[in-house]
Structure 1
Amino acid sequence: MRKVFLFSIFCFLLSTFCFAEASIKFEEQFRIKVWNEAGGTIEVSADKGKNWETVGHVVYPTARVNPEGYTASRWVADGTVAATAVNAIHLKVTTEATTGGGVIFSLLPKEFIQPPKFYRSYLSPDSSIYTDIPAGTSIFGDGYSPYVGNPVLLSRGAYKLVPMSGYAPAVGDRIYIIVEKPLDYPREIVFENAVGGDVTITYFSGIDKVIGKVLRPVIGVGRFEGTKYASVGRIRADHAGVIDVSTSRLRRIGGFQIVPSKHGAGMKYVQTATQWLVVGPVDETAALEGQPPLFKYFIKPVFGENDALSEEWRAKLLDRFLVEVKLDGQEKWQTMPVFEFNEFDLSGRVPAWADSALADVAALRILFPIKE
């Protein structure tokens, strides 16, 4: 009888966990269309495809995928956005049968037409669509960026808007990303920056919930190249295994990363270095990898360099994600302090100050857009 009771409780908890994601309701914000051919337009529609605005062009198309995608792509569903960043969008078409890893291809901004000589993030030059859109703008971290988990569709010949799951891109394809966001959107997520600290999500209604635990606090900052295209206190990237936050000004490098524990356990440097904040689930039998709200559906890079110069500057600034910190002994939240690396510090060992730059950060929070 006891076993039956415990099994019933387990099934209830499991169904509750699964229902949480299954019950998320979405609204379409816009859709992105990429014509995968040289000179093909990249367009955005805010009315479900009735009207389109051209935001860029394809410089070099691709007809290839990378069967050895980055590790965290395994935790994303086939036919969806695997990563969204100021310097790339990765799309997963299927799962590699033998390794379980993601088979992906990418959209890249114009800065990558000439691949960087030294680059520590994922990059697959042969399986990428190169665009003329600058990094940190439009679909790359500005008003038209997608979320992790957004569906990717394909139009090819007689096939009209079929799920891209199982398809490799071909020259001439029209690739669609349907950008949806959850209807019940939070106000903030707070991380207590200490071992055992709570990770708490709060909604505009005032309801809050502990969604994780801090297993390893962040103390330092690192040289994450993509932060060059994101301003201080802004989201640089989100995927199934990372949230990347910039501590540097535009065109400078510096930041830290938030990673889920299972993913972090497979990377020795995450366990020994200070530039990563490791979070685990409240229930030790569960996992955060590829799960909302941290690593799917909710967070993306959104920031425009010229927001403050716009006639609609107030609305634009409220429409962006922002990361703030609370220092030891302080009650008020404040803007992210600037920590960035000089050119001569971009190779070799990081300077000593970087390992403890955030040592006095007691908590940090991700503020969500008030209106989007």
Structure 2
Amino acid sequence: MAGPFSDVERSIFAAKEVLSEDHQPDQILERDEEIEEYRHALEDVLFGRTPQNIMLYGKAGLGKTAVTKYMMEALQTEVTERPDAEELHVHELNCNGKTVYAVVRTLVNELLPDTASDFPKRGLGTADAFEELYGQLDRLGGTHLIVFDEIDHLDAVDTLLYELPRARSIGHITNSKVGVIGISNNYTFRQSLSPKVKDTLMESEISFSPYDASELRAILADRADRAFVDGVCEESAIARAAAIAAKDRGNARQAIDLLRVGGEVAKKRGDTHVDDTHIVAAQELVQRGRLRNRIRDQTQHAQLLLETLAYIEQHEEAPARSKAIKNRYEDVADSHAVAPLTTLKSIQNHLSDLHMLGFLRRTGQNHGEGGGRYYEYSLDLDPQIVLDIRREIEAAANPG
């Protein structure tokens, strides 16, 4: 008797993994200028010098992480051919939701010998973690490039960026060299750093701008050539996916998702080719899926504020001032049995972050000396979709 999968054939996709989010391409397209800037910033490593610190800025999906992985791999290969270069160690950490202690502890445990016990999760302070880190760096020697992805999400980031770049100059390490590479989705991240950190960091800055439609078409054509069976993906599908993503945020990840889901739509329909109609059908599926992931990645209170703004939008009360949003937010938090944030400043900080991430629109109002200056906020998303996603998240967190 035939099973439920017996008739599944490779009719559309040849290598579907090429369209996955975690696929690392062998060649980076449409980022030549950024790669050239990166190359100049890293070249000191080839001559045994202390690496420059580097900060990469740009919204999600613009190639920052992919370019960094590509450059680290290329540098590690080149170092083996250079007599002046020291042994290179690359460490990659994601900072989202982490404390400085947790990040430094992760680095220490990565450096410790296999026979050593892990550095404790609790019981010691951040200074103890840094002291152990410096000891392990000098034990290994060589050059260490430490990549901090989503560094703008790190708690007390000033501590990290003040300690590491000056570790050698003040004698914390003597046998090793350290360079910091920070990746941030926030173009204004540097402005939030303290003056002493800015002076210490002295970094090279590389900014990643959104892709245009032509650049996205080149990226998609390369992926489609490898991902689909020959002749399956039509040019109209590539053009439509590139146009949608370019008009939205210039996001390569979104464009690639559209192509993958378009292929899945065609396969479910039993079609033998992927064209622009499949991309149009995929658009809502991709938008909802990506939005679900983005909302899920936010803190609990940020999610509650998004839910609050969705209700405000539905009642046609937007744009709203932060004080009005706070009043409604407290009701929403109460409905979920969550203790709300208590200060208006904390609400304003979350609203500012959500605006920076593209969830909200913010409008400045100036009513002179009598009325003052303030911001009003409104949701930059479909409120019903936000509410549906919040219900899904809550249902998953509280089954039954």
TM tier relative to shorter chain: under 0.3
Task: Choose between structure 1 and 2: higher helix proportion.
Answer: 2
Q: What TM-score, normalized by structure 1, do the two folds share?
A: 0.26
Task: Choose between structure 1 and 2: higher strand proportion.
Answer: 1
For the pair shown, which has the larger CA radius of gyration, 1 or 2? 2
Q: What TM-score, normalized by structure 2, do the two folds share?
A: 0.25
